[in-house]
Structure 1
Amino acid sequence: MARLRCAGRRSERAAAHPGSGPLPRSPGPAALGGDRRHPAGLPPARRPEGLSMAAAPLMPAPHDAETRRLRLLLDTARELSAEVDLDLLIARLVERTSKIMNCLRSSVFLLDPEREQLYTLVAQGLEAREIRIPLATGLAGHVARTGQPINVADAYADPRFNPEVDRRTGFRTVSVLALPLQDHKGNRLGVIQCLNKGLDGHAVPFDAEDERFLAALGSLAAVFLENAKLYREQDELLEALVSAFSRAIDDRDPCTSGHTRRVTQLSLNLARAVHNARQPPFDRIEYTRERLRQLRYAALLHDVGKIGVRDYILCKAERLPQGGIENLRLRLELLRERHRGQTLEKMLSEGRTPDAESGLRAFADDVQRAIDLVTARNQPGPVRGGDLEALDELRSKGWLTADEFDALSIRQGTLTPTEMADMRAHVQKSYEMLRQIPWPKALKEVPEVAYSHHEKRDGTGYPRGLIGDAIHLDGQIMAIADIYDALTASDRPYKKAVPHERAKAILVEEAEQRGALHPALVRLFFDRECYRLPADL
């Protein structure tokens, strides 16, 4: 029998597969006790061949064990009806099934007809992983293929049983009860399975009453699983749209391609570190799956407003606009040649013989110094002593236009004040675009988080100049990730990447001395090595 290990009495996360026959919708207290023909409020399951499921009513005269089961069934319906996270639903369903069926282990599998596999979801911390088994093997696979329930007293005596999982885990399967799960249209969803009835170490066979209770539980499970799968499909659609939009942002700005994916991963690394912190100020901060998802979407879309920024600004590698330095050098060279021609013409008209001391060399040297200066200042390097004064002299001579002087006088980076304002406007544009999306309640802060990633705790950030804890914590996490990637990225044409230790020193200075970044977050970022990225990023 093909099985997956799913905890019985422990709250592990496993995978689910809805069940068999027409299924009742979320039954409440009235539904579970108000039908004379079916006292549990559930129609008796169809009697499949080989199972006696029509023996007695689901609720005979009051009996302690049966009353306990019915109460657990009712509690299960109440608890699971609102759960839309598929792997959490499966984990709770597995736990409840083991209690209701008084068995050592239970499993819920979902059917993947395209791959011809059964799969289950197992929670691991804040994430969930998927485990798959072939549909062609094991007792669960037989139920999924045929749509028929099975009740096996001795698994090893059944030729359909696959003992491989037992060999890997050391578990010994004895009794097995498994039923198919179906949606409201009768389509097969998967299998619900119970192993080893009895918790005293001695497994006994499942009986007809167990079959009826598992059929009732399977009917409820199928409704909840179908609902959760629909939510999951909507989530997958949103995930695909966000990912596609994020790739479009990277393609729009090839100079920083990969930036959004790296910032997203760095932000999630730091958020998980905050979640796992046991010391103040983070010991009471929890990152649920939904909050991590919200941060992930905000990080993937934080630069969406760059769609509205002009191309040459996004990839501006030099201080002058594209082609500007070539035009300026050519103009200065023409100035030198014009001066030479005019000087020679004047000397000849006066009957003088040109010589090296005629002033031609001095002027040519001045022009060459001007060419060397503007060429150096066009690169995004630091300002050298006397550069600005020399540029101002060139402007006063008429050798530089006002726009050229402004561009070459930029102290940091390559953008003029006007261009910088245009670039910084992408944050506001991102916010305006993101807030137009009808985000689900769990993701409603995506616009605000993205809006906050350039704010600084000392009020020097933009666009709102927020101070301290007025900045969303997730935005502060993104700010650290964004700055670290900007410093260390090797794909920026307008700057060289700095080594890790230098980037660390810059971030620590920003946090500890200037108070621009959250000091505890910066320490955690480096102490927990949140800066490490997968090789494919």
Structure 2
Amino acid sequence: MYVVFNMSELSNKQIKERLQHLTTLSIALNDIKNIKFLLERILHTARTITNADGGTLYRVSSDKKYLEFDILINASLDLHFGGSREKSDKMRSIPLALDNGEPNLEAVVAYAANRKESVNIEHVYDTPIFNFSGMRRFDEVYDYHCQSLLAVPMLDHNSELVGVLQLVNSMDNSSGEIQAFSTTDQLFIEALSSQAAIAITNQELILQLEDLLESLVNLINIGIDEKSANTGRHCQQVPKLTMMLADAVQSMEEGPLKDFSMSANERHELWLAGMLHDCGKITTPVHVIEKATKLQTIFDRIDLIDARFEILGRDAEIRYLKQLAQDSISPQLTQELHLELESLRSDRDFLAHANIGCERMKDEDLDRVMSIASGTWVDYKGVTQAFLTDNEVENLQIRGGTLTGDERKIINNHISVTIRMLETLPWPAHLQDIPEYAGGHHERMDGKGYPRGLRGEDMSVQARIMAIADIFEALTARDRPYKTGKTLSESLFILGKFSLNGHIDPDLFRIFVGKKVYLQYAHKYMHGVQIDEVDESKIPGYLT
């Protein structure tokens, strides 16, 4: 809609200059990734093309009910709100509909938005069909006079409204007087607005896809968390610690890692890799992830063994009472019963302790399990059974931890599954290293890790960083079903040993300690009782 327009034409030179501005903007729109800078560049180019004193850019709200103020620039008033600078609370959103539900055709930008038509006005306050109360308040506050105005809807490739670009007070190049926006001005701004709308839409689609990707990552972690709240927290904490250590490494000005650096995209890539580093655990059976004791499956089978001890004790007492019924009271018989019950209690306590898996089993402990297993008990059918089944013996003879060899393979397989899952995805160029970062956190510097047996030189710095974050979080975590969280000094001692035996990168470990990354993480995420005094001079591998 042309309310009023000026038919004065531009020289060929001026048209050529404007075409050059449009071309330059078209190229820039593909390169600018920050939406705030993008909007700023759009408004700046629009003002330059039309020699407008001021301009405002509005975008449609997510609920399609408002035009939300994004940026205002006015040269003569030296004002710049929004974009790369702070917004002003004086610049309010404009409703696209009235209280009665009818389209808002009173505000000029809402008119342009609802009708999807340009509005070109030579003398603002001589035009009675629009409500310019907001513009009048602006003029009063800043002692300004809005005279000419051009409002152009920004429509994307589907003719969907993205926003409205409003320009005020076109200035004559020669006299500096305010003039109306010409027909050529309007055509150029309509072309610019169309380009800008498509660029904004593309940027928003990219951001939406990135949000969708992160949401899918969180969806996977929610699935893991539902299986195991312990593992779920681990998936959230490892990326946080990974980024802390990465930042510390990037700050180094000397040493073997002084040249390490990451762009914003590379940081995002590492963060996502951290979030996905254990995604393969979604396939790991719950009873293996949550195995808190050696005999635990769906339930802890130590209760079955307790019941057998109860039966053996009861059988011993029954034999004793039967003997008493036949013979007189015998001190020797009473002593034998006492010794037998005491032996049963001792064996029962031993197996209960062994079942926890908190201490490494000695050879004599393994022999004692076999000795107990060689005993027998009579089940409810009267059938004599071995006191411990082969599976119970296998589990109770685990030297350290709670997992059997087969269960350890199942747990370790999660990283192979993680790699397979991640390598099947069509990652864009700026995220293509995620499978390597996430899939390398169980590899070792000496090549004895899994699943690929890579050596330190075969792994990226990012993968080696994540390996340290993964181990430290696991050591300090208090929510594991099979252990308590270690203190800072205990965790650093173990990690230091790992730096010496070829498990983790010693250079990264020294940065981890020297830059106090461990303390930064501890104060944010560890329980106070775990944060003890650390004597860094006693940490293995740190000062060597």
Q: Is TM (by shorter chain) over 0.5?
A: yes
CA–CA separation in structure 1 for the residues paired with 2:493 and 2:40: 45
SS in 1 for 2:485: coil
CA–CA separation in structure 1 for the residues paired with 2:338 and 2:84: 77
Equivalent residue, structure 2, for 1:287:
263
Equivalent residue, structure 2, for 1:526:
517
Q: Decide which of 435, 441, 456 is 1:447's aligned counterpart.
A: 435
CA–CA separation in structure 2 for the residues paired with 1:187 and 1:155: 27
Q: Decide which of 26, 32, 35 is 1:77's aligned counterpart.
A: 26
SS in 2 for 1:258: helix
Q: Is the CA contact (8 Å cut-off) linking 1:266 and 1:531 kept in structure 2?
A: no
CA–CA separation in structure 1 for the residues paired with 2:483 and 2:310: 29
CA–CA separation in structure 2 for the residues paired with 1:443 and 1:210: 42
CA–CA separation in structure 2 for the residues paired with 1:268 and 1:172: 49
Confirm whether residue 316 of structure 1 aligns to residue 291 of structure 2: yes
Matches within 5 A, 1:8-157: 48-52=2-6, 55-56=8-9, 60-61=11-12, 63=13, 66-81=15-30, 86=35, 89-90=38-39, 92-94=41-43, 96-97=45-46, 100=49, 108-112=57-61, 114=63, 116-119=65-68, 120=70, 134-136=93-95, 143-145=112-114, 147-149=116-118
| Corresponding letter in the other structure for 1:260 | C
CA–CA separation in structure 1 for the residues paired with 2:241 and 2:338: 57
Q: Decide which of 434, 455, 462 is 2:450's aligned counterpart.
A: 462
Q: Decide which of 205, 217, 229 is 2:192's aligned counterpart.
A: 217
SS in 1 for 2:345: helix
| Corresponding letter in the other structure for 1:250 | D
CA–CA separation in structure 2 for the residues paired with 1:466 and 1:162: 70
Equivalent residue, structure 2, for 1:497:
485
Deviates more, 1:89-98 or 1:452-461: 89-98
Equivalent residue, structure 2, for 1:37:
none
Q: Decide which of 471, 476, 488 is 2:476's aligned counterpart.
A: 488
CA–CA separation in structure 1 for the residues paired with 2:159 and 2:121: 25
TM-score normalised by the chain length of structure 1:
0.72
Q: CA 1:308/1:284 → structure 2, altered by over 3 Å: closer, same or farther? A: closer
TM-score normalised by the chain length of structure 2:
0.71
CA–CA separation in structure 2 for the residues paired with 1:66 and 1:278: 52
Equivalent residue, structure 2, for 1:16:
none
Confirm whether residue 184 of structure 1 aligns to residue 174 of structure 2: no
Matches within 5 A, 1:399-438: 399=375, 400-438=388-426
CA RMSD of aligned residues (A): 4.5
Unaligned 5+ runs, structure 2? 72-81, 97-106, 127-131, 376-387, 527-544
SS in 1 for 2:164: strand
SS in 2 for 1:359: helix
Deviation, 1:166, is 11
CA–CA separation in structure 1 for the residues paired with 2:489 and 2:390: 40
CA–CA separation in structure 1 for the residues paired with 2:234 and 2:26: 45
1:422-446 alpha-carbon deviations (Å, 9 max, x no partner): 1110110122122222233332233
| Corresponding letter in the other structure for 2:349 | D
| Corresponding letter in the other structure for 2:95 | A
1:50-97 alpha-carbon deviations (Å, 9 max, x no partner): 333x5426xx33x3x554433232122233246677556445545544
Q: CA 1:104/1:418 → structure 2, altered by over 3 Å: closer, same or farther? A: farther
Q: Is the CA contact (8 Å cut-off) linking 1:179 and 1:218 kept in structure 2?
A: yes
Aligned length: 475
Equivalent residue, structure 2, for 1:22:
none
CA–CA separation in structure 1 for the residues paired with 2:339 and 2:289: 41
CA–CA separation in structure 1 for the residues paired with 2:44 and 2:278: 43
SS in 2 for 1:366: helix
| Corresponding letter in the other structure for 1:179 | V
Q: Decide which of 198, 221, 224 is 1:246's aligned counterpart.
A: 221
Equivalent residue, structure 2, for 1:378:
355
The structure richer in helix per residue is: 2
| Corresponding letter in the other structure for 1:49 | V
CA–CA separation in structure 2 for the residues paired with 1:274 and 1:113: 40
Q: Report which structure shows greater RCO (CA 8 Å, sep ≥6).
A: 1
Q: Is the CA contact (8 Å cut-off) linking 1:83 and 1:228 kept in structure 2?
A: no
